[in-house]
Amino acid sequence: MRSLIPGILAMAAIVMASNILVQHPLGAYLTWGALTYPFAFLVTDLTNRLQGAAAARRVVLAGFATGIACSLIGTQIIGEFGPLVTLRIAIGSGLAFLVAQLLDESVFNRLRTATWWKAPLVSTLISSSLDTAIFFSVAFSAVLSFIEPGNDVSWATAPGPLLGLGPDAPFWASLAVADWLVKLVLALVALVPFRIIVRRYITRVA
C-alpha cells in the first residue's frame, strides 16, 4: 500500500486543483481546470505501467473519493448564480471520472506489451473522449434536465455557432469540443513525462 502513496497523492492533487481551477474561465469556452485535469490520465497510466492494473484501479478510486469530497464541499459554497457545484455537475463529474479512468486502465492493460507509446496514448485518447462526452451531456444537456429540474441550464443549451465558427449547436457543445481538443493535445504532451519517469524508474530498479 505504501508504494501507492505517490500515485494517490498525485491524483488527489490533480483532482483538487482541477475542482478549484474549473471556477476560473480561460477564454470563452475553457477554464483553467481544463489544463490540469487531463494529467489524471497520466497518473493512472504511470501507475499501471510501473505497478500494474490493480494498483491503477486503487489510485483511480482514491481520485474518485477526492472528487466526491470536492463536489460535496462545492455544493455548500454559494456563488453569484447559486452553488458552485450543482447536482448535475456533481453526478456528471463523478460518473465521467470513474468510467473514463477505469476504461483507461483497461485499454492500457490490453496494450501494455505494444510499443511504449501506444498504451498511454490510445488509452488516454479513448477514455478522455468518453470523459468529455459523459460530463458535458450529464451536466448540461436539455435531454437530461430531469436529473435536476430546478437547475436552470438555459445558458448552456442556448444555440450558437460551434466554437464561434461552425454550425449552430448548444453552447455546451462548444464547451465540450474545446475541452476535448485540449485533452487530445495534452495526451500527446503527457507522453514526454511518461517516457522520462518510466525510464528513470526502470534504471533505478535495474
How distant, in Å, are the alpha carbons of 87, 171, 184 from that of 155? 17, 7, 26
pLDDT given at position 206: 57
How many Cβ atoms are within 10 Å of 167's Cβ, its own excluded? 8
pLDDT given at position 205: 66
Q: How do the domains of the chain map onto residue ranges?
A: 2-205
pLDDT given at position 40: 98
pLDDT given at position 202: 82
pLDDT values of the chain reduced to their tens digit, one per residue, 206 residues: 678 999 999 999 999 999 999 999 999 999 999 999 999 999 999 999 999 999 999 999 999 999 999 998 988 877 666 777 899 999 999 999 999 999 999 999 999 999 999 999 999 999 999 999 999 999 999 999 999 998 999 999 999 999 999 899 999 999 999 999 999 999 999 999 999 999 998 887 65
**CATH of region 2-205, choose from 1.10.1760, 1.20.950, 1.10.3470, 1.10.357:** 1.10.1760
- For residue 42 the three cell numbers come to 497520466
Phi-psi region of 163 (alpha: psi -120 to 50; beta: other; left: phi over 0): left
Decide: helix, strand or coil at residue 190.
Answer: coil
Q: How far apart are CA 22 and CA 18, in angstroms?
A: 6
pLDDT given at position 1: 65
Q: How far apart are CA 100 and CA 89, in angstroms?
A: 16
pLDDT given at position 203: 82
pLDDT given at position 81: 65
Nearest to 47 by CA among 68, 37, 61: 61
Question: How far out from the chain centre does Cα 142 lie?
Answer: 22
How distant, in Å, are the alpha carbons of 84, 85, 104, 105 from that of 22? 10, 10, 22, 25
Decide: helix, strand or coil at residue 174.
Answer: helix
Decide: helix, strand or coil at residue 26.
Answer: strand
